[in-house]
Chain A
Amino acid sequence: MADERPRSFQEVWQRLQDYWARQGCAVLQPYDMEVGAGTFHPATTLRALGSKPWAAAYVQPSRRPTDGRYGDNPNRLQHYYQFQVLIKPSPPELQELYLGSLEAIGIDMHLHDIRFVEDDWESPTLGAWGLGWEVWCDGMEVSQFTYFQQVGGHDCHPVSGELTYGLERLAMYVLGIDHVMEMPYNDPAAAIPLAYGDVFRQTEEEFSRFNFDVAETEILFRHFEDAERECEAILAHPAEDPKTGRRIVMAHPAYDQCIKASHLFNLLDARGVISPTERQAYIGRVRTLAKKCADAFVATEAGGWTAAAEAS
């Protein structure tokens, strides 16, 4: 255990990364698309499907357009970071491993009050749900802990354990900071010390204005339709590639379009142009895509497909 507390935002996630690497996780990089949460990374959504073991950890920049506050709110951001861990099958000692990660970032279990409080997770857009908790440290939610039961409409067999840390909030707590923009991003003793606000205040402002008032809704609606159509079109191709003669199911390219559609929906929602009844319909459309991508993924090798199994 590190005996010193972290001194910067980046040190918090570096320590988490090192810790989970020591526990045998593959440390991945963020997915290169706009997503609403770390769960959307294919390393979680798709890899939670099928029978193959998996262990990955990564930081994922996440966007929630409706949470934009022009950089003024001490806690709310439209762009923030999540740290995500997914292990399949969920190991029996996952709770203990998780608590070890809190110690790794300087939380002393004997000085603080750690609690597992019921929180059932559900993602209507992904057709996914699981049971677990929000983890409280001294009354503050610091992580979500979920045993995936279903993803993309498929029962999870085996079950994955998913951990999600809201990095800004967790780091603010560990570092004792009250306003996110004041949090040291790098080492405060560095030659050029940067605060979180130095890095993100301006972008928060820009994106808040864009998300709420400027994003052209007609273009967004059109892109949504395009992504939806493209996703379906990709999946409509036969498994056998006519050029190479190989079996290539394009689950990931299709899933990229599903991610796109989901983010476009979030932007439209932030623009306030989707009525409550339409909202359900849009969520349903994204879910339909997610389910088709899940169906495709379980027909790939990474998803546990084998020629032998199909033949039998």
Chain B
Amino acid sequence: MPDLLIELFSEEIPARMQPRAAADLKARMTDALVEAGLTYAGAEAFVTPRRLTLTVEGLSPRSAETRERRRGPRVDAPEKAVQGFLRATGLSLSDLSIEEDKKGRVYVAEVVTPGRDAAEIVAETLEEVIRRFPWPKSMRWGAGSLRWVRPLKSILCLLSDEAGAEVVPLEVDGLRAGDVTRGHRFLAPEPFSVTGFEDYEAKLKRAHVLLRPEERAERIRHEAANLAFAAGREVVEDEGLLREVAGLVEWPVPLMGEIGTEFLDLPPEVLRTSMKEHQKFFSLREPGTGRITHFLTVANIEAPDGGAAILAGNRKVLAARLSDAKFFWESDLRVAREAAMQPWRDRLETVTFHNRLGSQGDRVRRIAALAREIAPKVGADADLAEEAARVAKADLTSEMVYEFPELQGRMGRLYAEAAGMRDEVAAAAEEHYAPLGPEDGVPEAPVSVAVALADKLDMLTGFWAIDEKPTGSRDPFALRRAALGVIRVVLANGLRLDLDTWIDTGLLRHKIELHRAEAGDGEIDALEDVLDEVARRGVFGAAWCAVLDARRDEGRDGGRPVPEDAPVLRAVGDLVPDLSTDLLAFLHDRLKVHLRAEGLRHDVIDAVLAMPGSDDLTLVVARARALGAVLATEEGENLVQGFKRANNILTQAEEADGVEYSFGADLRHAVAEEERALFAALDTADAEIAPALEAEDFARAMAAMAALRGPVDAFFEAVQVNDPNPILRRNRLNLLSRIRDTCLQVADLRRIEG
């Protein structure tokens, strides 16, 4: 069984594209080889800045011969049809046999496709893969027409077995495959030939190239830790940066240097961000204080002076960068201390958030209003929450955040502290963005929670109001992340929020802004009254009716009537409930995805979402967890079967008879002992479930429901529901209806699958 080695040697491949390219080369080559009839034992792909490499072990030397029987035209078919069949199969008339089938006597051909040598298949496959490689961006060079990520310089393609190695004959746009590669650009530029993968990897290492990305990353990690340790420092871990840097070098040589003392007062995150973004440096910190005092760069070369010249150059570039950062920091601090960030807040008015949703200043006003309203529900002081929301976005127009957008929030906190604001306000400036990713922590301080929820709900309701919802993979405003943020903030803090209220409030506030210019007399007034009323009544529908009724009454007394022709009012009144339902459904979808991670089935969640109070996510999850737990028991699982049986029989009977069997079953008509037992069991369950639900003790309610399993099973075992006696039958159907009602108080078991 031969082994295959491929190397596509090019000018420098962008680091961010490397991992994907290695995976694509492996998948596309092996898929195509298998498609062409070869098998293989294993394959692995590697990538460095200058080469993409694939090794395939235990490739079959030839593809197998295949035979295929093909039915042709009838023997008495026109000559043209027969000739066509011969052309298609590549056979002559004498090669065909004749068989009898339903159509009559037909020609049958046995088409034999001979096996092919692996080399031939590899050559064909590789050329195809090269020509159609899925680079995110590719280019042409020189006078050629081939496309690659950067100019492709050479192709190495070898098949090797015990007998030796052979170059696969292949030429792509004038590049002829060979057995030759090159080492490190500066340390070992001479070409050399190889005989197989082991030889290749070993020779590359001698030529100062570490082929495996993870080996390069490991060397960086290891040597960086040693250098840091020797200086009494520790490396600030950054896996993303490590991967990127490992993609920029073939022979990593970490070098450590000190940061100039004049920069040591900069906040650690500023030092870290500036060094990482501009220079791709790692940061080294002092254990204990957390101060960043050193940088670590990864050179691609072992220099005879031990890297002194390289370090000197890097230190100089860093000094220029950090001078900029220091300038930003100091001038920002002046704005924070002397003007309480007011100039930045003013500038937010001129920064567009979204062309239909107004400026960042408009957004801040909306968030502040919403944060104030949410505050009492999350245990925050309303004034503080509003103040925090008004400050939370100020840093967006600071010089530092303009330069390093990823420092938003973090700088906001530092500047708010410098401005002497309350700790809760400063903390919210940073924490209200959280959680940013699935691993990111969730704010817990009440003021931060209020602003975080207001921020995310304003985003969601805003984009819903202008119909810019995420579709498929398109989510340019990261609304899925915002929705997950709401869910996690609510759940982690055990918040009891009727989200409907806040969704309606947000939507309505956006709609008012969107229509302010075109609205007729009194329309905006009326909508603002509805907004106030939503805060009192909790939901849009009730608030809407209350306001409109009141105005109708006032109108009679010459007060503020509802305008006769109020198109905006009508449109908003029609639209908000639908948008609100749709947005809550979106949140429910994200909730399902979130809960799937903890193993809760989507049908369990559906069974709970069908219950009232589905906008109270904490309640939903408590109920779903209890239901999930009871369904995992044998009792619970069987009860669901019993419930479904009862429900099916009942539904069929109700449809057939055209009546609803909900009059209540009568114990007097209970004949069998099992029937009487079920009456008793239902009484017990009802007595238990109602107070348990009242107390939101879902586990107890579920247990009481599951306890019905025995009596229900026994009932079905012993009793025929469709008894010939119509009185007995009706009573039993009414009994089934009680089972259904009892269970449906707890969860909508009809939605449980299986």
Q: Point out the residue from A74, A92, A111, A115 that lies within 8 Å of B304, measured CB to CB.
A: A111
* Alpha-carbon distance between A137 and B299 when the two chains are bound, in angstroms: 10
Please determine whether A115 and B151 come into contact, CB atoms closer than 8 angstroms: no
> In the complex, A74 Cα to B323 Cα: how many Å?
11
Contact partners of A140 in chain B: CB under 8 A? 313, 316-317
A280 within 8 A of B: no
Least CB distance from B553 to A in Å reads 48
Bound Cα distance A75, B319 (Å): 12
A-contacting residues, B290-325, CB 8 Å: 297, 299-301, 303-305, 309-310, 312-314, 316-318, 320
Query: Is A110 part of the contact surface with B, judged by Cβ < 8 Å?
Result: yes
Partner of A115, one of B138, B141, B149, B248: B248
A95 near B11: Cβ-Cβ < 8 Å? yes
Question: Given A89-B143, A110-B301, A147-B141, A117 and B248 touching (CB < 8 A)?
Answer: yes
| Cα(A45)–Cα(B88), bound, Å | 54
User: Distance (Å) between the CB of B334 and the closest chain A CB?
Assistant: 19
List B contacts of A117 (CB < 8 A).
12, 248
| Cβ 8 A contact of B139, one of A74, A149, A173 | A149
Question: Of A75, A89, A113, A118, which is within 8 A of B310 by CB?
Answer: A113
List the A side residues contacting B303 at CB < 8 Å: 110-113
Q: Is the CB of B304 within 8 A of A110?
A: yes
The chain A residue with its CB closest to the CB of B135 is: A131
Name the one of B15, B140, B279, B300 contacting A118, with C-beta atoms under 8 angstroms. Answer: B15
| Contact (Cβ within 8 A) B279 A139 | yes
Given contacts A74-B320, A75-B320, A140-B313, contact A114 B186 (CB under 8 A): yes
**A90 contacts B300, CB within 8 Å?**
no
| Given A138-B317, A159-B140: A147 and B186 interface contact (C-beta under 8 Å) | no
Does B288 lie at the interface of the complex (its beta carbon under 8 Å from any beta carbon of A)?
no
**How far apart are A95's CB and chain B's nearest CB, in angstroms?**
6
Question: B317, A139: Cβ atoms under 8 Å?
Answer: yes
A117 to B150, CA, bound (A): 12
Question: Do B142 and A159 touch across chains, with their CB atoms under 8 A apart?
Answer: yes
B299 cross-chain contacts in A, Cβ below 8 A = 113
Contact status B150-A131, CB under 8 Å: yes
Interface centre among A114, A118, A149 (most CB of B within 10 A): A118
**How many chain B residues have a CB neighbour from A under 8 Å?**
39
Interchain nearest-CB distance for B215 vs A (Å): 19
B120-152 vs A, CB cutoff 8 Å, 1 = contact: the mask equals 000000000000000001111111100001110
B11 touches A112 (CB 8 A): no
Of A113, A120, A157, which one neighbours B137 at CB under 8 angstroms? A120
- At the interface, yes or no: B441 with Cβ under 8 Å from chain A? no
CA distance in complex: A74, B49 (Å): 34
Asked if B376 lies at the interface with its beta carbon under 8 angstroms from chain A, I say no
Q: Is A54 an interface residue (CB 8 A)?
A: no
Collect the chain B residues with CB atoms within 8 Å of residue A178's CB: 316
Question: Does B104 sit at the interface, judged by CB under 8 A?
Answer: no
Question: A90-B141, A133-B12, A147-B151 are known contacts. Are A173 and B313 too (CB-CB below 8 A)?
Answer: yes
Cβ-defined partner of B16 (8 Å) among A95, A111, A118: A118
Instruction: Tell me how far the C-beta of B149 lies from the nearest C-beta in chain A, rounded to whole angstroms.
Output: 8
Contact B142–A89 (Cβ < 8 Å)? yes
1/0 per position for A86-113, CB-CB distance to B under 8 A? 0001111001000000000000011111
B153 with A92: CB separation less than 8 A:
yes
| Residues on A with beta carbons closer than 8 Å to the beta carbon of B301 | 110, 112-113
B14 at the interface (CB under 8 A from A): yes
Counting CB contacts under 8 A, is A6 at the interface? no
Known: A74-B320, A111-B305, A139-B318. A92 touches B248 (CB 8 A): no
Contact code string B159-191 (vs A, CB < 8 Å = 1, else 0): 000000000000000000000000000100000
A92 touches B140 (CB 8 A): no
* Residues of A close to B279: CB separation below 8 A: 139
Docked complex Cα distance between A157 and B145 (Å)? 9
Looking across the interface, which residue of chain A has its beta carbon closest to that of B319? A178
Asked whether, in the complex, the Cβ of B11 is within 8 Å of the Cβ of A116, the reply is: yes
Kindly state whether residue A158 has any CB partner on chain B within 8 Å. Answer: yes
Nearest CB in chain B: distance from A49 CB, A: 15
Whether A65 is near chain B, meaning CB under 8 Å from some CB there, is no
User: B250-297: which residues lie under 8 A (CB-CB) from chain A?
Assistant: 279, 281, 297
> Given the complex, which residues of B lie within 8 Å of A138, measured CB to CB?
309-310, 312-314, 317
- Smallest CB gap from B305: residue in A: A111
With contact pairs A90-B142, A131-B150, A149-B139 given, residues A111 and B320 touching in the complex (Cβ less than 8 Å): no
A159: min CB distance to chain B, Å: 5
A75 to chain B, nearest CB (A): 6
Cβ A109 vs Cβ B305 within 8 A: no
Cα–Cα, bound, A36→B304 (Å): 40
B contact residues around A149 at 8 Å (CB): 139-140
Given the complex, which residues of A lie within 8 Å of B248, measured CB to CB? Answer: 115, 117
CB distance from B13 to the nearest CB of A (A): 8
Assess the A113–B300 pair: CB atoms within 8 A. Answer: yes
Binary per-residue interface labels of chain B (46-65) against chain A in the complex, 1 for a CB within 8 Å, 0 otherwise: 00010000000000000000
Complexed CA–CA distance, A157 and B142 (Å): 8
Contact with A along B311-343 (1 / 0, CB 8 A): 011101110100000000000000000000000
CB distance from B682 to the nearest CB of A (A): 69
Please tell me if A127 contacts chain B, counting CB pairs below 8 Å: no
Query: Which residues of B580-594 are within 8 A (CB) of A?
Result: none
Q: In the assembly, what is the distance between CA of A92 and CA of B143, in Å?
A: 10
Which residues of chain B are within 8 angstroms of A116 by Cβ–Cβ distance?
11-12, 49
A130 located at the interface, meaning its Cβ lies under 8 Å from any Cβ of chain B in the complex: yes
Cβ distance B310 to chain A, nearest Cβ, rounded Å = 5
> Can you name the residue of chain A whose Cβ is closest to the Cβ of B351?
A276
Cα of A130 to Cα of B138 in the assembled complex, Å: 10
Q: Which residues of A contact B143 (CB under 8 A)?
A: 89, 157-159
> Considering the chains assembled together, what is the distance between the CA atoms of A133 and B15 in angstroms?
12
Chain A residues near B313 (CB-CB < 8 A): 112-113, 137-140, 173
Tell me the A138-184 residues at the B interface (CB within 8 Å): 138-140, 147, 149, 156-159, 161, 173, 178
Given A92, A111, A112, A139, which contacts B142 in the complex, CB threshold below 8 Å? A92
Closest to A117 in B: B248
Residues of B within 8 Å of A156, CB to CB, are 140
The CA of A132 and the CA of B11, in the complex, are separated in Å by 9
Cβ contact within 8 Å between B186 and A130: no
Task: For the complex, give the distance between the alpha carbons of A140 and B317 in Å.
Answer: 6
Bound Cα distance A159, B145 (Å): 10
A95-B11, A112-B310, A138-B310 given as contacts; is B139 within 8 A of A147 (CB)? yes
B residues 702-722 in Cβ contact with A at 8 Å: none
Q: Which chain B residues in 1-31 approach chain A with CB under 8 Å?
A: 11-12, 14-16
Q: In angstroms, how far is the closest chain B Cβ from the Cβ of A51?
A: 9
Query: Shortest CB–CB separation between residue A173 and chain B, in angstroms?
Result: 7
Pick from A109, A110, A138, A139 the residue with the most CB of B within 10 Å. A139
Inter-chain contacts of B138 with A (CB < 8 A): 131
Residue of B nearest to A146 (CB): B139
Given the complex, which residues of B lie within 8 Å of A110, measured CB to CB? 186, 301, 303-304
Chain B residues whose C-beta falls within 8 Å of the C-beta of A173 in the assembled complex:
313, 316
- Complex Cα gap A110–B303 (Å): 6
* A92 x B139 contact (CB < 8 A): no
Please give, as numbers and ranges, the residues of chain B lying within 8 Å of A74 by CB-CB distance: 320
CB-based closest 6 A-B pairs:
A138-B313, A118-B14, A116-B12, A158-B143, A139-B314, A113-B299
Q: Give me the interface of B with A, judged by CB distance under 8 Å.
A: 11-12, 14-16, 49, 137-144, 149-151, 153, 186, 248-249, 279, 281, 297, 299-301, 303-305, 309-310, 312-314, 316-318, 320
* Besides A131-B150, A137-B313, A161-B141, 14 other A-B contacts (C-beta < 8 A): A90-B151, A112-B309, A112-B310, A112-B313, A115-B248, A118-B12, A130-B139, A138-B317, A140-B317, A147-B150, A147-B151, A156-B140, A158-B143, A159-B140
11 pairs from A and B in contact (CB 8 Å cutoff)? A89-B141, A90-B142, A90-B151, A110-B304, A111-B303, A118-B12, A118-B16, A138-B312, A139-B297, A140-B316, A161-B141
